[in-house]
A and B are shown apart, each in its own frame.
Chain A
Amino acid sequence: MDFSNTEYYTNRERSWLRFNERCLSEARDENLLLFERLKFLSITASNLDEFFMVRVASLKDMVHAGYKKSDIAGLSATEQLKQLYPALHDFVDLQYDTYKKLSKACVENNLLMLEHHEDMDAKQAAFADRYFTDNVYPVLTPMAVDQSRPFPLIKNKSLNICALLKKSEKHNDFAVVQVPGGLSRLVELPSNDKNMRVVIRLEEIIERNISKLFLNYEVLSAAPFRIMRNADLDIEEEEAEDLLKEIEKQIKKRQRGEAIRLEAEKGIDKKLLARLGSELKITDDDIYEIDGPLDLTFLMKVYGLEGFEEFKRKPFPPQEVPEIPAGSDIFEDIKKGDILLHHPYQSFEPVVRFVSRAADDPDVLAIKQTLYRVSGNSPIVRALAHAAENGKQVTVLVELKARFDEENNIGWARMLEKSGCHVIYGLVGLKTHCKICLVVRREEDGIRRYVHLATGNYNDSTAKLYTDFGLFTCSEPVGEDATAVFNMLSGYSEPLGWNRLSLAPLWLKKKLLKLIRRETEHALEGRRASIKAKMNSLCDPDVIAALYEASAAGVDIKLLVRGICCLKVGIKGVSENIHVYSIVGDYLEHGRVFIFDNDCEPEVFLASADWMPRNLERRVEIMFPVEDEKLKERVINILDLQFEDNVKKHELMPDESYSKKKVSGRKRYSCQEDFCERAEEMAKAVRNDVKESRVFIPLVNPAQDKEIEDEI
């Protein structure tokens, strides 16, 4: 059986679009709170922007470069684009259909989002005009286009208004003004109905006042538009090496920054659209006439409006980790045994405390950490800088290539360097995506290494929104491996052997394939064999082929793949034993968990890597085992509960669509809600233990505590 037959694979772009459809289905789900639906709709819009900038841009690059190689599903770039165009247009139509429904629902719930400036009443119009004069006009830069002034450079992703101007009978001029990004996209207007709040988008206010920008001209028509460019984006790790070489060769021919999408308001003056089309050299396929407001990410601002709390999900505060109580000595806690953290249900605070405590602890010799994406004003970055100032040896690998974060990363990387940290600015040709922090501490019985490994970034902000796992350990074999990882990241040779960690791009893929094949062998020998795994995306052809082989041998495979999945289910003799689910919920499913049954002796791994070629071959990633039996059981249980979800879980069907079963007749079960409750109960149980105790435990200054300990 040839498991690599392209017919058995789904094109990744099509699969991605299905993922965004699942997000959109959340926005369309009437069981959700209204503002949560708005948020989901906004997410689909920003997802789509990224998709255009990275994936569509990449496909266009391939077409320009004449790259003929087909994708995992046997499609050439041209064929993929051909399939994508109608699907993308349909998707956008569905987005705006959803927007209309939600807008209507908002009105029913006392929020009026005015579509056009013409819809304002006199009082609102006067307010808008004053707002324009006071706040907007001073920051606008109108640009007219005529024989002496060429067509201006329209910035990628910016929202603009174009206008057709008339100065004399003979001649019409074209003009553009950018909607300033620095001003709020949403302006609240006075309302005659005290129960109804009214908002309008900034571009509508500008459009209403556009004649003030072009005095001596008559404005014939005006309309907002937005473009997306094939900019200097990091597509390198997304594609095969031979393609990159091809692109390099073609680089002179390639039009840098070519426009790849034009969004314009539906009903835009045909002359304006034609002018834009010809100036931007854009094809009809890439023009999207939008029946509604452009760039729906403004809905996130709507979500942020004060009030309307009954339409928003009550925020869930991340709970205390029972093994690391507030004020405890985190190193002592870790010494008692490995600690698993399940974010965002459990707090990220112990991770910040781990680094901060290490920074102040006189016994800590060194801190080494990888940073991929951190929050602005990150407490971890501050702690690392503080540690270096305290004379610790601090090594930080800052991944500058983290997409869309480059500038942000350079800024704080320099700050770390100034504080005395040894900063490694990434590795040549590889993106460092692993999440690892190592603290070397000199203790009474010698050097001890404390390690934190995680599936998600060291980002205290996203740790409240993304579901991830973290593991604290001071196990010697893991410590040795962690030391070796940082040695390798510092340019030293690979160690002679690894104890526990599997590192991409060296061994991770091979290890995975080996683990899958072991299950296959077990199944063929009639032993129990199963694989349960969770990840963001699955599109590595070798891994998928190995999974098909396992399925054909009788291995029971259950996968939870949030995003892209190039594997097809239900193919006779190939994937009948594979079930793929996707959970799109309030929190972004982000953890990577791999469980191999190993004939009733399960092996559980957590990882920073998805099963994608870019993760397994072009990034530094870590897969680490969960060895403590209790923690292993906990992870297995968490994954099992996720498969039980009947609220947010979609199932991949043999026709490549996703289906969400109706809950009717069954008890409603949302794993994310359950995990919130469980985390709360676990934290409460510890608080109760403390309360019920008849002995008071005074908290002491950790530094003093240490001094006492030293004296004993």
Chain B
Amino acid sequence: MAEKNRKTKLFAAIDVGSYEMSLKIFEISPGKGMRCVDSLKHRLALGNDSYTNRKISYRKMEELFRTLEKFKTVMKGYGVTAYKAYGTSAFRETENSSMLIEQIRSRTGIELFILSNSEQRFLDYKAVASRGKMFDKVIEKGTAFVDIGGGSIQLSLFDRDSLVLTQSLKLGVLRLHERLQEMRPRASQTEDLLDEMIGSQLHVYDKLYMKDREIKNLIIMDEYISPHFNDAVSSADNSGYAKSSDFLAYADSLLTKRDEEIAEELQIPEENVGLLKLSVGMIKRIVRDFDVEMIWAPGAELCDGIAYEYAQDKKLIKIAHDFEGDILDSAAMISRRYQGSGKHSKIIEQAALTIYDAMKDVHGMGQRERLLLRLSCILNDCGKYINMMNVGDCSYSIIENTEIIGISHMERMTVASAVRYNHTPFEYYDELQEHADIDKRSYLTVAKLTAILQLANALDKGKKDKIKKMKAYLKGGELHISVNTDADLLFERERFGKKAVFFEEVFGIRPVIDRKEI
């Protein structure tokens, strides 16, 4: 049996969330794809501590260790060979998260990583994408994706089949629930009040991003209504796809029912009904504002996304969707929003990748850093929208404060720094450390990416697209960049020469231009 099962992997996904810890065991095989064989949830409100004190109490940490130990026993029982464990906002909002992670490692042997909001949302998005054909079908048309969490919601938009825009809004159901409790509205006031709370933020979103977009489908991801969507909404098929009109009819009837009645109908604890109503109220408002036709509630969870990403990385399943494309497209969307020079960006991206690939044996970086370099190129001059005299710092600020779905906080800061030093003098580690939260490894990545970006930028400094063809190769300790052009490269050569000094400092390789006339 073992021989036959060799291609089937048993993988465990652990999500240490703000209110609950989850473990899902997946069976992943090239033939059958992903199948969840066990799912455990343990209520542990870590968020209560970290949101208020920015610390997690000793008692809760003990409970966390105990539960992870129990998870390990379950994993062992299934013969799990690989796992990924992630912590989300409770850890993000904790001051001493690195100490906690070390405690978890030493006490339980489990390596826990903290996801940034955008990484978490990207995994959520992957969880939805793990539904395969249905996902592809839904995103063919203009689609919005709302991911409803406790503290915030993430509202993303698809352009054709690629996710281009994402925004986090502080409209999480728990947050709203707490605010409503403070305001103590009468039952008849609740829906209107909720509408006002959501409406004000949605209005801004609408003005900024929607313009003349046509949204036909809405994908929802939440823990409240999604699990019951098929039973609750009359036209919903098995995959959780239903007409928005049916959802609205259901929502209208649900919001007028007593909590007890809803609990019995959906077989859920009565204490969860309040949050369910808020989630439904929120979806209802989005459906109306965006005027969507269909709703899809695939019932996916973060753990599904974790497993999907693992299967993708290990090439255990075929993945048709281009997730890297989503990240690049959303960066391009940011660049457009700040009137970045699209054509110039394309040119320097091309040049930078040529240099990056030629330097593969020297720089020792991988696919992920290649992606960061592309993002740096796309966003290289977004700051000029604010101030042309201070493009580096302004670009840095924009990137620092804009979510790019799919990359971590540290990766975003790496991109922001590379873009900044493309325009301003590079700062050395000791100097940089004084004002930036960056580790040494990331610092070196910043240095390498900056060196390449500067060189690529220099090659189109005049923004005249002078170089028609470009090749790069290493020879005798030099990086030869062979360019085909008829144009005068005086300006570019001057810039190139200056930037080559830093490049040589970083890589110990001197870059030279070999010009070939066409």
A positions within 8 Å CB-CB of B: 362-363, 365-366, 392-393, 422, 440, 442-447, 483-484, 487, 490-498, 506-507, 510, 706, 710
Instruction: For the complex, give the distance between the alpha carbons of A490 and B71 in Å.
Output: 11
B40 contacts partner chain A, Cβ-Cβ < 8 Å: yes
From B43, B74, B223, name the one whose CB has the most chain A CB atoms within 10 angstroms. Answer: B74
From A362, A444, A496, name the one whose CB has the most chain B CB atoms within 10 angstroms. Answer: A496
What residue in chain B is nearest A362 (Cβ atoms)?
B1
- Whether B227 pairs with A446 at a CB distance below 8 angstroms is no
What residue in chain B is nearest A391 (Cβ atoms)?
B76
Name the one of A445, A493, A496 contacting B42, with C-beta atoms under 8 angstroms.
A493
Q: Which residues of B contact A494 (CB under 8 A)?
A: 269
Instruction: For the complex, give the distance between the alpha carbons of A392 and B37 in Å.
Output: 17
Q: With A365-B79, A393-B76, A446-B27 given, is the CB distance from A491 to B228 under 8 Å?
A: no
Output the least CB separation between A129 and chain B (Å). Answer: 64
- Whether B1 pairs with A363 at a CB distance below 8 angstroms is yes
B476 contacts partner chain A, Cβ-Cβ < 8 Å: no
- Whether A442 pairs with B42 at a CB distance below 8 angstroms is no
- Whether A446 pairs with B8 at a CB distance below 8 angstroms is yes
Q: Which residues of B contact A422 (CB under 8 A)?
A: 73
Name the one of A366, A444, A491 contacting B78, with C-beta atoms under 8 angstroms.
A366
Instruction: For the complex, give the distance between the alpha carbons of A483 and B10 in Å.
Output: 17
Instruction: For the complex, give the distance between the alpha carbons of A492 and B1 in Å.
Output: 31
Instruction: For the complex, give the distance between the alpha carbons of A625 and B77 in Å.
Output: 28
B264 contacts partner chain A, Cβ-Cβ < 8 Å: yes
Known: A393-B73, A493-B43. 10 other contacts (CB 8 A): A365-B79, A393-B77, A447-B10, A447-B35, A447-B37, A487-B38, A487-B41, A490-B70, A497-B267, A710-B3
Instruction: For the complex, give the distance between the alpha carbons of A393 and B264 in Å.
Output: 35
- Whether B78 pairs with A493 at a CB distance below 8 angstroms is no
- Whether A442 pairs with B79 at a CB distance below 8 angstroms is yes
B20 contacts partner chain A, Cβ-Cβ < 8 Å: yes
Output the least CB separation between A495 and chain B (Å). Answer: 7
Q: Which residues of B contact A444 (CB under 8 A)?
A: 1, 4-5
B29 contacts partner chain A, Cβ-Cβ < 8 Å: yes
- Whether B228 pairs with A497 at a CB distance below 8 angstroms is yes
Output the least CB separation between A475 and chain B (Å). Answer: 15
Q: Which residues of A contact B29 (CB under 8 A)?
A: 446
Output the least CB separation between A66 and chain B (Å). Answer: 32
C-beta contact mask, B270-303 vs A, less than 8 Å → 1, else 0? 0000000000000000000000000000010000
- Whether A442 pairs with B5 at a CB distance below 8 angstroms is yes
Output the least CB separation between A89 and chain B (Å). Answer: 47
From A392, A445, A510, A710, name the one whose CB has the most chain B CB atoms within 10 angstroms. Answer: A445
What residue in chain B is nearest A449 (Cβ atoms)?
B37
A-B contacts, 27 of them at CB < 8 A, read A366-B78, A393-B73, A393-B77, A422-B73, A442-B1, A442-B79, A444-B4, A444-B5, A446-B32, A447-B10, A447-B35, A447-B78, A483-B37, A483-B38, A484-B39, A487-B38, A490-B40, A493-B20, A495-B41, A496-B223, A496-B227, A498-B267, A507-B267, A510-B264, A706-B1, A710-B1, A710-B3
Instruction: For the complex, give the distance between the alpha carbons of A393 and B70 in Å.
Output: 12
- Whether A365 pairs with B77 at a CB distance below 8 angstroms is yes
C-beta contact mask, B48-62 vs A, less than 8 Å → 1, else 0? 000000000000000
Q: With A363-B1, A442-B1 given, is the CB distance from A495 to B228 under 8 Å?
A: no
Output the least CB separation between B401 and chain A (Å). Answer: 36
Q: Which residues of A contact B5 (CB under 8 A)?
A: 442, 444
- Whether A446 pairs with B77 at a CB distance below 8 angstroms is no
Instruction: For the complex, give the distance between the alpha carbons of A537 and B63 in Å.
Output: 41
Instruction: For the complex, give the distance between the alpha carbons of A665 and B8 in Å.
Output: 68
Q: Which residues of A contact B27 (CB under 8 A)?
A: 446-447
Instruction: For the complex, give the distance between the alpha carbons of A487 and B42 in Å.
Output: 10
Within B317-359, the residues touching A (CB, 8 Å) are none
Instruction: For the complex, give the distance between the alpha carbons of A357 and B171 in Å.
Output: 54
From B10, B40, B42, B79, name the one whose CB has the most chain A CB atoms within 10 angstroms. Answer: B40
Q: Which residues of A contact B78 (CB under 8 A)?
A: 365-366, 440, 447
- Whether A492 pairs with B42 at a CB distance below 8 angstroms is yes
- Whether A440 pairs with B43 at a CB distance below 8 angstroms is no
Output the least CB separation between A43 and chain B (Å). Answer: 41
Q: Which residues of A contact B1 (CB under 8 A)?
A: 362-363, 442-444, 706, 710
Q: With A447-B37, A487-B38 given, is the CB distance from A497 to B3 under 8 Å?
A: no
What residue in chain A is nearest B36 (Cβ atoms)?
A480
Instruction: For the complex, give the distance between the alpha carbons of A495 and B38 in Å.
Output: 10
Q: Which residues of A contact B264 (CB under 8 A)?
A: 510
Q: Which residues of B contact A706 (CB under 8 A)?
A: 1
From A393, A506, A710, name the one whose CB has the most chain B CB atoms within 10 angstroms. Answer: A393
Output the least CB separation between B307 and chain A (Å). Answer: 14
Output the least CB separation between B252 and chain A (Å). Answer: 23
Q: Which residues of B contact A483 (CB under 8 A)?
A: 37-39
Instruction: For the complex, give the distance between the alpha carbons of A487 and B71 in Å.
Output: 11
Instruction: For the complex, give the distance between the alpha carbons of A706 and B38 in Å.
Output: 26
C-beta contact mask, B219-239 vs A, less than 8 Å → 1, else 0? 000010001100000000000
